[in-house]
């Protein structure tokens, strides 16, 4: 199986313009004790309440890419992992990346997963749900915007950010005060819907091969 990792690869063709938008929610942290799955589950639940989305929750901890550098001939264990991950990214019409902030940036595992791919993100919208301390993961988001611009993706203006995130959820993984994050999630999903529909329609008229 050939996996796209450079801009010379053939871009993915446009998706059909009917049917629900396929939304991939990517959990970017793979650390033990991470808060990412709790936040991603919360967000995915919000997205699933909207009929326009078919949500696929992708946990990078379940895809063993390790630290292997992108290559046109990956070793068998990496090829097997990519065989499970790449088709899900291919199928997505839009993405939401759930990321913490590590040392003013985003996790290495997330960058590696992105670097193994390229046309899977072409002419598709990407939004961000971030979490951390006082900065709420927003510095990680600003770095990721530059990365996804290089991959021909469109990032939404608005984000959902959790500041001092570990204090915001109870022992059952529920938000103690859901109103503010819920409103932010609605705005983000509204913007993502607009961009995903616009780009899907545009690619149905002219495949993105620029």
> What does the pLDDT read at residue 17?
65
Q: What mean pLDDT is predicted for residues 114-119?
A: 97
Distance CA 192, CA 96 (A): 9
- The per-residue pLDDT for range 9-64, each reduced to its tens digit, is 333 433 456 799 999 999 999 999 999 999 999 999 999 999 999 999 999 999 98
Which 3 state secondary structure label does DSSP give 162? strand
Q: Is the pLDDT of residue 2 over 60?
A: no
């Amino acid at each position: 199986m050939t996996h796209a990792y450079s801009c010379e690869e053939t871009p993915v063709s446009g998706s059909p313009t009917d049917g629900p938008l396929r939304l991939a929610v990517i959990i970017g942290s793979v650390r033990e004790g991470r808060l990412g799955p709790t936040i991603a589950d919360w967000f995915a639940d919000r997205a699933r309440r909207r009929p326009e989305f078919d949500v696929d929750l992708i946990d990078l901890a379940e895809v063993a890419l390790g630290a292997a550098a992108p290559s046109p001939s990956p070793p068998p264990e990496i090829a097997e992992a990519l065989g499970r991950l790449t088709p899900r990214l291919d199928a997505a019409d839009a993405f939401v990346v759930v990321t913490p902030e590590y040392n003013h940036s985003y996790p290495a595992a997330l960058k590696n997963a992105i670097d193994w791919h390229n046309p899977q993100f072409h002419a598709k919208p990407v939004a961000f749900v971030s979490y951390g301390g006082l900065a709420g993961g927003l510095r990680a988001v600003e770095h990721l915007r530059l990365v996804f611009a290089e991959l021909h993706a469109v990032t939404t203006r608005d984000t959902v950010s959790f500041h001092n995130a570990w204090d915001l959820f109870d022992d059952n993984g529920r938000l103690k005060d859901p109103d503010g994050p819920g409103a932010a999630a609605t705005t983000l999903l509204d913007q993502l819907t607009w961009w995903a529909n616009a780009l899907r329609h545009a690619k149905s008229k002219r495949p993105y091969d620029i």
